[in-house]
Structures are given as structure tokens and as C-alpha cells.
Amino acid sequence: MNGIALRILLGDQAKYIGLIFGIAFSTMLMSNQISIFVGLMLRTAGQILDAREADIWVMDPRVEYVDEIEPMTDMQLDRVRGVDGVDWAVPFFKGLTVAHTRDGMLQQIILLGVDDATLTGVAPRLVLGSVEDLKQPDAMIIDRAGFQFMWPGEEPGIGKVVELNDHRAVIIGISDASAPFTTYPIVYTKYSSARNYVGRTRKQMSIVLVHARQGVDTRLLAQQITIETGLKALTWREFTRATIGYYLRRTGIPVNFGITVALGFIVGAAVVGQTFYIFVLENLRQFGALKAMGVPNGTILRMVLLQAMVVAGIGYAIGIGLCAGFFFEITSRVSIDLRGFELPLEVAIGTACTVLVIIVIASFASLRKVMVVDPAIVFRG
């Protein structure tokens, strides 16, 4: 019976292709938009995810997300270090400034100052140079995409000189840092150098990065730091969620992407549902003939579901393949500033479940027609 079901399905090539196209289009649209949305949200917390040595981020109580910085005094660092359970705590600077190249170009950059001694907080992936070279005077590391923004058309290299607020800085390394939400270059330098570049004030420390002692629960330690210092202390996972949550609440990104995904679902369900319904109606005589030969309803039900699953499986495979190919092309060949966008496994699985819902909706009305078809339809004109 399965072979008969497939021959019925393949017998109408136009509707067969239309069903596959509807599923493929819906799959491509939903998985593409959800993946881009996930990629954008992860970009908002890129600097947190890159500083994996730190278990806890300590900041001013009013700070809600990583791009909203309220400076603290250096005295707060000593208070954090005094909390029982802290293995080490180091200062971290984050700010925006303008870099001047010798070619006369101006470029806004994200300036990150890491602890002079430990260099904690630098992106772990370097394309050129060594993190230890950052201890040299006036040294800085720039991300690969940022280098191409500032020197378009040139291959990434070290030795370039830039000026930050009348201070000279030399590029000694190229990092593969996570893409930021904005397209500004990411520059790492020593904490002391960062303070000189932006101009010294009474409050300059942005964040305290903390590592817990072995065996200490990081969430409990964060709570203890908050109790003893009055500062906000969050684990890196909590701070990541807080940052992403801020953008979800304060921007129209979720609504815009949600509308597109909903349209993909609605269009897919409507096109596939209508096409599959017409397909079944046009083949009622075949199903009626099977009933006249004594084929039970359960077998016919399995035949219709097999047809639906074949269409769903092929359409989903084409759609998810197109989505994966799209991200491969744009991230590896189109533009480096689109790096970080990919098709997560969770999105692929979620889209598969959604396609299953679409095909169930499409099959529901058709199944009723098949179940109540009169075998005598075979003998009617």
C-alpha cells in the first residue's frame, strides 16, 4: 500500500512540486529569520562571552546591560577582593573613543582595558601576534573585522600605528573576537593604557572581573559580593541573559523578526494546506477504489500520512539546506562583518517540529474527506 500511496503522490507532478516548494519556502524563511535573530542577540553579549576566564562580573547597581557602564572607583576592587571565596579579581575598562589613523581616517572603536598583569578579558582567539605582547608600551590588539574597517583592502597585519586622544598606539596583534552588536572595531589594551587614552578621572573602572575559588558556587559567591559590597554581581551567564533581555525589552527586534517568522508559518500552512487538500480531493476516486476493494480506513489513513510525511521531509531538507548554505556563503565569502551568524542545531530541530505542525494542519481537513468517502464514487461519472 505504501507503494500505491507514493505512486498517487508522484502522479500529479505539479501539485507534488508545489507542496515541496511550500514546505521548503516556509522552512527557509523561518529558520533563516530565527537564526539571524539568535545571532543578533548573541552579539549584544559578545564581550561577556569572550572573557570566559571570569566567573562573575561586578558592576555599579544601576547597570542593566554590558553597554551601559557606570564607572566605579578603584577602591571597589579591593572591597571585592576581600570577599571570602574570591580567587582573584581584576579591573576591566569598557568605553568608546575615536581612533585616528595616519591615513587620516577616523573610526569609533570599542576600547577594552584588561588587567596589566594577567591580561584577563582578551578574546581567546588570536589570528596574529601574542597576548603577552600586549604588555609592551602603547600596545593594542584589534579584531580582524575592525582592522579591515580601518584599513580596507589590506591584509591584516601588525605594526600599524593609530592615535587615540593624542596618544600613540601600535597594533601588535589581530584577534578573532566575537562580533559586537554595533560594527565598531574592538580594541584591547592594558587597563592603565586605556585610562590614559580616555583621560584620567576619579572614576574609571567599568567592571570587576572575578574568578571563584575551586569548589565555590559562583552564584552564591555573586550574592555574597552583592551583600558585602553593595555592588551588582552577576555570573557571566546571568549577565549574558540580562544583556540579551535588555535588548529584547527595549528594541523592536523581537517584534520585527517575530512577524516574519509568523508570516512564514502562516504562508506555509496556507499554501501547503490548500494544495494538499486539492490534491486529496482530486484523488478521492483512487481512495474510493481502495475502499471498494476492502482496504480499511486505518490503512488509507497511513497512506495519506505517508504522502504528507514524504512531502514534509523532502521540503524540509531542501529548505534547511538552503538556509545552511546561505549562512555559509555570507559568513565565509561575502563579508567578515557578518561573521557569527549560523544555523544553530536548536533552530533546525525547532523548525522541523514547526514543519510537522504545518503538515498536520494541512492533512487534517484532507483526512476527513478520505475517511468519509463513499466507495461508490468509483462507479459514478
* Residue boundaries of the structural domains of the chain: 2-44+253-379, 73-230
Tens of pLDDT along the chain (381 residues)?
A: 667 666 766 766 777 788 888 888 888 888 888 888 888 888 888 889 888 889 999 999 999 999 888 899 989 999 999 999 999 999 999 988 888 887 767 888 899 999 988 888 887 788 888 888 898 888 999 998 888 888 888 888 888 888 888 888 999 999 988 888 888 899 999 998 988 888 777 788 999 999 999 999 999 999 999 999 999 999 999 999 999 999 988 888 888 888 888 888 887 777 777 777 777 776 666 666 666 666 676 776 777 778 788 888 898 999 999 998 888 887 766 566 677 788 889 999 998 988 888 888 777 766 666 666 655 554 554
Residue where the block lists cell 531542501: 318
**Structure pTM?**
0.80
Left (φ > 0), alpha (ψ -120 to 50) or beta: where does 161 sit? beta
C-alpha cell at 123: 578574546
CB of 264 within 8 A of CB of 30?
A: yes
Nearest-angstrom CA–CA distance, 190 and 115 = 6
C-alpha cell at 171: 597594533
Nearest-angstrom CA–CA distance, 105 and 57 = 34
Nearest-angstrom CA–CA distance, 113 and 97 = 12
